Amino acid sequence: MAYKNVAGHAFDFETRACTICGLTEEDFRDKKQPACTGQKIHTDASRPATLRHAGGSVHCYTLQEAVLAWTRLAKEDRAQATIRADDGTVYNASEIDRLHVK
């Protein structure tokens, strides 16, 4: 497999995604070339979670729904938001961005 290394990312030529963090080259350009955030965080997306942000909190039936709701927040709100999974794990903005829900 061939990789293109840019800003700490290892972009796979076939998938066009970073093999370290999963960011696509398209998102890399759209987000004004963020540095690689590190390894993906693998977790169970089916468990309930609560998104907490400046506007309040939203209970979601699944962690995946909470992550999707987080992506719809304004950039400033995303930076301060957290997601609390039903097992008590709290993810901050940089961790939410690396969540790989399955």
Rounded-to-5 percentages of helix, strand, coil across the chain: 25, 30, 45
Instruction: Examine the domain organization and report whether 8 and 47 are in the same domain.
Output: no
**Does pTM surpass 0.85?**
no
| Torsion angles phi and psi, residue 52, rounded to 5 | -115, 125
The list of the chain residues with pLDDT below 50 reads none
Instruction: Examine the domain organization and report whether 63 and 31 are in the same domain.
Output: no
pLDDT at 101: 63
Instruction: Examine the domain organization and report whether 71 and 30 are in the same domain.
Output: no
pLDDT at 31: 74
Instruction: Examine the domain organization and report whether 48 and 26 are in the same domain.
Output: no
Domain residues for 80? 42-101
Instruction: Examine the domain organization and report whether 49 and 97 are in the same domain.
Output: yes
Instruction: Examine the domain organization and report whether 84 and 48 are in the same domain.
Output: yes
pLDDT at 102: 56
Instruction: Say how many domains are in the chain.
Output: 2
Spatial separation of the C-alpha atoms in residues 75 and 58, rounded to whole Å: 17
